[in-house]
């Protein structure tokens, strides 16, 4: 089942955002209970002055209940982290997480992990004596493995399980993060470059591209997060400009003194052509994008493109 999640944390973020938003193809019960997403990756201080950073906060004014989520892709909990969560009080949620008082009469810290790791994750929660609900991701849904939520109607949702077809999870709300594979990043940023072309832009920077492609770009996350994300996006564009998109993109180092960000010129733009030629150009770009993503995914390049070294490929782990 873990093959479903090349990036567990991102999958859980998209899933829970989707459950709150009532995305087509997902169960509606979480939305129907009134839960709405409130904050993504918010860092704030607990009542003891220590920082916490739940991956997602959702809340419902109908039930007066808020949940802070912590995804766990691995087998262990972090005892210090759990201790800091235990000291989050209602006032912290109102004053620092901008929740309305009616949305957090009660709250929970919910740990979400893979079913095969549930026993190990439970040990950490039990050892600290925390009441945190542990939700396990099984092959066909979400199951409450330990403790219960502060509101019974939510606990009941996971008994015996909240059925979910993980083959149909939303993937586009937050399309990639710093842990995504190069091909996954390329799948989002190459269409953005095509959008720049279709908008008659003559250049773009990595800062623009990052900001336009993933909302996570804007967060002041842990030191180095933005740098990692930026570096991975830059590598994808470098690779594209060196191979499949060589005739379309060129690094413009002169402009970088002005833009303060790695910058590329769009040196050929189909938009300037007449309709028939333009349509043919866009079809060609589609074919090049397919080749490029496939090359990043498999490490094997279309023979026509074997002009340079290919250092950034990753084997597909799906």
Partner 1 sequence: MPEIARSRQELAQLMDHVMNQTYSSLEEEQELEQETSLVKTYLLEAHLPEDASPNDIRSMLQTVSETYLTHKRKLIADDTKDPTLYLLSTVVDRERVILYVDVSNPRFWILHSVNKSTALDWVLDRVTKEVDQLDRGWLWPELLQELSTKGSFRGLGLDYDRRIVPDIDFESPESVEYLKLQLWGMQASKVLEVLQSSFPHATTLAKVKVKYWLSQMGDGDFSLDDVKFDGKITARGTSFQSHLALVSALYRRYADTIRRLEADFSLKWDYNENALQLSGAAIGFRFPTPIQDLERFCDHVFSSSLPFRLWGVPIRVTKSLIRVPAVDLHSSSRLDIEVCPEFMRLYLPEGACGNTIVRLYTNLKHHYDSRLKAVTADGQVIF
Shortest Å distance, C-beta 277 to partner 1: 11
Closer CB to partner 1, 21 or 148, in the complex: 21
Out of 179, 192, 261, 302, point to the residue binding partner 1 (CB under 8 A): 192
* CA–CA gap between residue 90 and residue 103 (Å, rounded): 10
Shortest Å distance, C-beta 25 to partner 1: 6
Footprint of partner 1 on 6-25 (CB under 8 A): 17, 21-25
- Helices 79-86 and 118-128, axial angle in degrees (round to 10): 50
Footprint of partner 1 on 92-131 (CB under 8 A): 97-98
Question: How many residues belong to the site for partner 1 (CB under 8 A)?
Answer: 55
Closer CB to partner 1, 127 or 279, in the complex: 279
Provide the total of helices (H) and of strands (E) in the chain, helices listed first.
Answer: 11, 12
Q: What's the residue count for the chain?
A: 318
- Order of strands, sheet of 263-266, starting from the edge strand that comes earlier in the sequence: 203-205, 263-266, 249-251
With beta carbons less than 8 A apart as the criterion, state whether 169 and 18 touch: yes
* CA–CA gap between residue 94 and residue 102 (Å, rounded): 10
Footprint of partner 1 on 226-285 (CB under 8 A): 271, 274-275, 279, 282-283, 285
Helix or strand or coil: residue 163?
strand
Shortest Å distance, C-beta 151 to partner 1: 22
Out of 94, 166, 256, 265, point to the residue binding partner 1 (CB under 8 A): 166
* CA–CA gap between residue 141 and residue 159 (Å, rounded): 11
Residues at the contact surface with partner 1, assessed by CB under 8 A = 4, 17, 21-25, 28, 31, 37-44, 97-98, 165-173, 175, 187-188, 190-192, 194-195, 198-199, 212, 215-216, 218-220, 271, 274-275, 279, 282-283, 285-286, 289-290, 293
């Amino acid at each position: 089942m873990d093959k479903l999640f090349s990036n567990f944390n991102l999958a859980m973020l998209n899933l829970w955002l989707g459950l709150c938003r009532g995305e087509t193809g997902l169960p509606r019960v979480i939305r129907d209970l009134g839960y709405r997403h409130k904050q993504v990756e918010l860092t704030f201080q607990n009542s003891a002055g220590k920082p916490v950073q739940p991956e997602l906060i959702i809340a419902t004014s109908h039930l007066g209940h808020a949940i802070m989520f912590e995804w766990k892709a691995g087998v262990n909990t972090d005892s210090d982290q759990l201790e800091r969560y235990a000291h989050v009080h209602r006032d912290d949620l109102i004053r620092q997480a901008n929740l309305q008082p009616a949305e957090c009469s009660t709250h929970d810290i919910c740990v979400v992990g893979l079913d095969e790791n549930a026993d190990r994750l439970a040990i950490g929660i039990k050892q600290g004596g925390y009441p945190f609900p542990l939700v396990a991701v099984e092959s066909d849904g979400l199951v409450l493995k330990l403790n219960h939520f502060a509101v019974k109607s939510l606990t009941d949702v996971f008994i015996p399980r909240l059925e979910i077809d993980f083959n149909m999870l939303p993937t586009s709300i937050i399309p990639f993060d710093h842990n995504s594979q190069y091909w996954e990043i390329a799948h989002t940023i190459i269409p953005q470059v095509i959008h720049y072309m279709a908008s008659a832009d003559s250049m773009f920077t990595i800062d623009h591209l990052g900001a336009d492609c993933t909302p996570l770009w804007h967060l002041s996350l842990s030191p180095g997060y933005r740098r990692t994300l930026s570096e991975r996006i830059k590598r994808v564009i470098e690779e594209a400009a060196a191979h499949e998109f060589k005739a379309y993109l060129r690094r413009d180092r002169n402009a970088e003194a002005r833009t303060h960000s790695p910058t590329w010129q769009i040196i050929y733009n189909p938009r300037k052509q007449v309709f028939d030629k333009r349509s043919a150009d866009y079809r060609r770009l589609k074919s090049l994008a397919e080749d490029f993503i496939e090359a990043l995914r498999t490490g094997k390049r279309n023979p026509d493109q074997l002009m340079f070294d290919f250092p950034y490929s990753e084997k597909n782990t799906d």
